[in-house]
Amino acid sequence: MFRLILFIIFLSSSVFAQGEIPSYLELKLHTELSEIKSNLESDITTRSIGSNIYKTNAPKTAIILTPSSSGSGALIGNDGLIITNYHVISNDEGVSPLIMVGFCTSEKYDPNASDTIFRAEVVSYIIKKDLALIKLERNKIKSKNYNVEPYSIETDMNNVLIGDDVHAIGNPQGENCTYTRGFVSQLRDNYKWYEHTANIVQTQTPINPGNSGGPLISNDGKIIGINSFKRTDSPGLNYAVSADEVVAFLNNPPVIPKITNSNNCKYANEGKIEEKENYTLRKWDMDCDNYFEREDVDYNKDGYYDEYFYDENKNLKDELIIAWIKKNGKWVLQYNYDNNEDGVTEKQCIDLNDNKKQDVGECKNI
């Protein structure tokens, strides 16, 4: 009994003030509470909410490529509907003739897993709001159908407050599937930029060219805006077309005219010449569909083309590159075949007898 009293006094000296002798029930309660607190602390993690936002939403964030640009998008329908910016899927002549789409993954970026193998067609757009709706062409998909839960869109912007955490996933400057985080800086109605006017969400969440068309995401995983533009002279001023504009667009998407061949096969016979700063580019639209399947490059602008790039299956990847090389003191053509379009040449032929075809002994697998 004497030992028990000493033990209780010892406990009280470390937990309770001197002179306060706790009862047995108080000691029992304190022990139980300590165990509960210990169990809770073992389950607490300091991992940011951003890791969960990325893991959940990256697989529904699109990588969008066209012949003239790259950008981002957000999957919003189980049938393959994707919301993005109009300027992502357009060019100087209107809507881009080819749109290829890939998707991020929930883990570390893998270019093979996020390959742009999906073709997409334009469903609708509204230039004034800089919004566009595209849809995956499932009959042209090389792999199995893409099947993830689409994004939800915030339908009441009153739920979005100044100072709220927001998250962005996109493809800035070709750095695909990049996550950034910031705050809502302000909500601005009828905001004007370039030729556009729309309600916008101003944020200091870092975005850059390539983020355009990607989602601005709330902590509960909803799209509150489509990242669209930034002030280049002020890195902290970034803007997204507000979710209420997106909802209005989706509820009443404008009917767009059918795309027609506007060049009348001009570039099938003559090619289109583009003078760049350091080289000359000649592009060919052989079947008059507004997509250039072949591009020739004159690197030193001497009037002779040095390389010819062929994308005959029209997916923004070259399966054949022909180049002039010097062999045994003679200029001959070298044919580089990338049949699986992974960026690596599998077969190479050198036209040693200059008959513009590959004869036996002129080709090798590499």
Q: Which residues make beta-bridge pairs with 188?
A: 200
- Check whether residue 208 and residue 75 sit in a common domain: yes
Q: Are 208 and 171 in contact (CB under 8 A)?
A: no
- Check whether residue 52 and residue 7 sit in a common domain: no
DSSP label at residue 258: P
- Check whether residue 74 and residue 180 sit in a common domain: yes
Residue recorded with tokens 């040693």: 352
The whole-angstrom separation of Cα 101 and Cα 66 is 9
3-state secondary structure 43-54: HCCCCCHHHHHH
Among residues 209, 227, 257, the one where a domain terminates is: 257
The whole-angstrom separation of Cα 35 and Cα 29 is 10
Burial of 278 (0-12, 13-18, 19+ CB in 10 A): exposed
The whole-angstrom separation of Cα 230 and Cα 226 is 12
pLDDT at 207: 95
Closest CA to 205 of 248, 172, 250, 237: 237
Q: What are phi and psi of 156, to 5 degrees?
A: -135, 100
- Check whether residue 218 and residue 346 sit in a common domain: no
Half-sphere exposure of 293 (CA within 13 A, CB side): 11
**Counting every residue, how long is the chain?**
366
DSSP label at residue 357: S
The whole-angstrom separation of Cα 303 and Cα 29 is 91
- Check whether residue 74 and residue 105 sit in a common domain: yes
Q: Which two tokens stand for residue 116?
A: 């742009």
- Check whether residue 191 and residue 56 sit in a common domain: yes
The whole-angstrom separation of Cα 125 and Cα 95 is 10
- Check whether residue 274 and residue 361 sit in a common domain: yes
pLDDT at 225: 98
Give the active site residues.
87, 130, 212
Residue recorded with tokens 């049949």: 339
Q: Are 117 and 142 in contact (CB under 8 A)?
A: yes
- Check whether residue 270 and residue 251 sit in a common domain: no
Burial of 89 (0-12, 13-18, 19+ CB in 10 A): buried
DSSP label at residue 312: T
255 C-beta neighbours (distance < 10 Å), count: 6
DSSP label at residue 314: -
pLDDT at 265: 85
Q: How many domains does the chain have?
A: 3
Among residues 257, 279, 306, the one where a domain terminates is: 257
Greatest extent of the chain over all pairs of C-alpha atoms, in Å = 110
DSSP label at residue 283: E
pLDDT at 139: 56
- Read off the CATH number of the domain in which 117 is found: 2.40.10.120
- Check whether residue 341 and residue 314 sit in a common domain: yes
- Check whether residue 183 and residue 316 sit in a common domain: no
- Check whether residue 28 and residue 154 sit in a common domain: no
Closest CA to 205 of 193, 195, 219: 219
DSSP label at residue 191: E
Q: Are 204 and 183 in contact (CB under 8 A)?
A: yes
Per-residue pLDDT of the chain (366 residues; tens, 9 = 90+): 444 444 443 444 444 444 556 666 665 676 666 666 656 554 555 568 999 999 999 999 999 999 999 999 999 999 999 999 999 999 988 999 999 999 999 999 999 999 999 999 999 999 999 999 999 987 544 444 567 899 999 999 999 999 999 999 999 999 999 999 999 999 999 999 999 999 999 999 999 999 999 999 999 999 999 999 999 888 899 999 999 999 999 999 999 987 665 666 889 988 999 999 999 999 999 989 889 999 999 999 999 999 999 999 999 999 999 999 999 899 999 999 999 998 899 999 999 988 888 888 899 998
Q: Which two tokens stand for residue 308?
A: 């010819």
pLDDT at 130: 98
Name residue 345's amino acid: T
- Check whether residue 29 and residue 158 sit in a common domain: no
Among residues 189, 223, 257, the one where a domain terminates is: 257
Closest CA to 163 of 213, 200, 202: 202
Domain hosting residue 95, numbered range: 46-257
Residue recorded with tokens 């969400």: 201
244 C-beta neighbours (distance < 10 Å), count: 22
